[in-house]
Amino acid sequence: MPYRDRVGYRPPRPSVARVNRLVARLAALGLTPRDTIALEVRGRRTGKLRRTALVWAEHGGNRYLVSLAGQSVWVSNVRAADYEATIRRRRAKRVRLEEVPVSQRAPIIKAYLSKRAYSKSPAYEAREFFGVSPDATLEQLSEIADRYPVFQIVELG
C-alpha cells in the first residue's frame, strides 16, 4: 500500500529505519547534503535522546521541517519536549520548532517537494508520500496539508 494511502502512522520497515539511523549519524558529522540534518529530541516515553535524519526546506527566508510520515514519532516527541530540540550538522544547535498552522503549510510543502531528498526524486516523494503530482498546485496541497505537520526552525541564542 502506498504511504499516502495510510490512515494512521505506521513505523517504517526495519531496513528503512536502519538507513535513517545511518543517515542521521552521517548528517550529524556533516557528511550528507547541506539540507540534511540530524534532529535530536528526548523520547516522550523513555526520555532517551532520539536522533532522526530529516531534510529541511526553505521558504520565504526561513527553514522548515516537514513530516513525510504525518503524525510520526519524531513529531510526537517534539511536541512532548515543548518544541525544543537540537539540530546536528557538524555541531549542535539548540532550536525551537514552531508548528505552522494548517492554513499556511501548502507553500512550504511545495518548497519541500521542489527539493531532492536523500536519493529520492521530488516526483517520487510527491507521488509516494503526498499522493500528488510533482507540479501540484497550492490548492491541491492545501487539501492534504492537515495530514503533514510542518515546523519552522528557530535557532536559540
pLDDT at residue 5 in the model: 59
Residue 14, pLDDT above cutoff 90: no
Say how many domains are in the chain: 1
CATH (domain of 68)? 2.30.110.10
Residue 3 covered by a domain: no
Helix H or strand E segment including 154: strand 150-155
Domain limits for position 61: 8-155
In 11-130, beta strands by DSSP E = 36-42, 49-59, 62-66, 84-89, 91-99
pTM of the model: 0.89
Residue 56 covered by a domain: yes
Residue 1 covered by a domain: no
pLDDT at residue 135 in the model: 83
Residue 2 covered by a domain: no
Residue 3, pLDDT above cutoff 80: no
Residue 57 covered by a domain: yes
Residue 26 covered by a domain: yes
Residue 92 covered by a domain: yes
- Kindly give, in sequence order, each residue whose CB lies less than 8 Å from that of residue 52, ignoring residues fewer than 6 positions away: 20, 24, 38, 39, 74
Residue 108 covered by a domain: yes
pLDDT digits (tens, 9 = 90+) for 52-111: 999 999 999 999 999 988 889 999 999 999 999 999 999 999 999 999 999 999 999 999
